Amino acid sequence: MKKIVLILNMLFVLFGFSTAFAENSAWKNPGYDFSQLKTVYVEPEIIYAPGCSIGELELYKNLVTLDEERDRLDEFELVDDASLADAVITVNVTSWNIKETYVPTKVYTKEANIEYIDTDGSTTYEPVTFELYTEEHYTYEQYFTAEFTVTDKAGNVVYKKIEKREASKDTFAMFGRAIKDFYDDFDEVKEDYIKEQKKKNK
């Protein structure tokens, strides 16, 4: 007589996995002398488009992050007066919201083996087919699009980066990473420019 040592449920409820999406594009003035940018002023106010849905706490936290992470600009001297700056950084958020998506019930099958052990100790396997399903539900993705712009004293745009991010997580955390990435990238633009000029002058 066979003794079943492993019993598998015939029905499973599977939950969806969280997803994330990020896209960015950057532009720099190809003929600009970035070495002349010594001082930088970061505009302390973030401009939000009318359609953005953002709470007061997030508004405050975004401003704090924008200010605290300025120190990542190692190649520049930070100033608190725009009239004293060689370049001014501004941030415009064109979208900030939550996207709701309906996911219908999905039923599918999966094959597996059930293990049996006989009373004499021998093992056999029986193939079975399981029915699996995901229940109908809604997913909520938080997203934003932000434009980081750098202009010089003459008002010319010398560098610009657009960040689009979407995930089932805190929008503030995503925005914080976008701010850090922008500071790092702009800092690298000047650093790379100086390195290139040194190579040309050798």
Q: What is the pLDDT of residues 2-18, one digit of tens each?
A: 443 333 333 333 334 44
Res. 101: pLDDT tops 80 = no
Give me 192's structure tokens: 């790379």
Per-residue tokens: 73: 């600009």
pTM: 0.73
Q: How far is CA 1 from the centre of its chain?
A: 58
Instruction: Give me 122's structure tokens.
Output: 């021998």
- Mean pLDDT value across residues 44-67: 95
| Mean pLDDT of the region 189-195 | 94
User: Residue 202 and residue 200: Cα distance in Å, rounded?
Assistant: 6
- Measure the CA–CA gap between 140 and 134, rounded to whole angstroms: 16
